[in-house]
Amino acid sequence: MKYVTPYLETERLFLKRGSKEDYRKVYEYDFTKLRDIAGEFEYVKLSLDDIEGFDTYALEYDNVYDWIRSSGAHMFRSTGDIIDNWQSVVDLYRSQMEKGPYGAPGCFNDLDMLIVGMNGSGNVGRGGCNYTEYLTHFAIWSMFNSPLMIGCDIRNMTAETLKILTNKDLISINQDEEGRQPYLAHNNWNNTHTWIKPMANGEYAIGYFNLSDNRADALLYFHDIGIPVSSGYGLELYDCLSHKKLDGVYKNYYNTILEPHGCAVFKAKMVKI
């Protein structure tokens, strides 16, 4: 198996058009990225369909989310390149607000690689983020089912970086077998958002995200997700960051105070009250 993914650029495809053998070099790779080639994609796909082991395509731009699923691709990029700073995380996050319907099992929406632990270094280093911002970045990517591809140098990870990247509760949300996209349940002045992701086991993942530079109150009324008090049900909450179950059953709402650029993520289970 090769360890480095080849890049097939548009110019190369035009130069080598017509020779299937030119594409067969990808045979030894588990993952191949096809970049900026919307006009050439079908030709490349036909050239590779009979090659056993060629498994995944990734593309970006060209409104790829509108047409990529019908092509048989397993994932796609719907964003520009991420930069290692908080503003880039926010910009990519906001670009996904209406793209929920496009990602699903078999064809996942890639928000670009993770910058967790880059700390301003590497090819996209532009100032870096603090621990809180990297955690929120990882939590958003997990909630949105984005492939979690590590961008930092894993040989030199700090304990804080390792803690974020190995959070089993966030990873389990990302890897949930039904791969449902989250939906926005509460939007507080476009700065504090609450997202809900239905899980395969009947539970919910709840993500609270504070995009602002100030501490903020994040709120979820349960009737907004179809669980009013009159239903006779409430929610038990498990904190995915502290890895602890919260005491009691919440019957009407749950709110929490978030630090600037911070987050809170829970797994919620419906229980009779």
Q: How confident is the model at residue 67 (pLDDT cuts 50, 70, 90)?
A: confident
% helix, strand, coil for the chain, step of 5: 30, 25, 45
pLDDT at 100 over 90: no
pLDDT at position 25 is: 53
Q: What is the average per-residue pLDDT within 44-54? A: 49
Residue 38: the pLDDT is 54
- Residue 23 tokens read as 């594409």
Q: What is the mean pLDDT of the chain?
A: 82
The whole-model pTM stands at 0.84
Judged against a pLDDT cut of 80, whether residue 10 lies above it is answered with no
pLDDT of 73 higher than 50: yes
Q: Which of 195, 246, 262, 181 is nearest to 224 (CA)?
A: 195
Task: Inform me whether the pLDDT recorded for 30 exceeds 80.
Answer: no
Tracing tokens 């603090």 back to the chain, one arrives at 130
What is the number of other CB atoms lying within 10 angstroms of the CB of residue 60? 18
Q: Strand, helix or coil at 191?
A: coil
pLDDT, greater one: 203 or 16: 203
Alpha helices (runs of H) in 157-253, residue ranges in sequence order: 159-165, 168-174
For the segment 128-164, what is each residue's pLDDT rounded down to a tens digit?
999 999 999 999 999 999 999 999 999 999 999 999 9
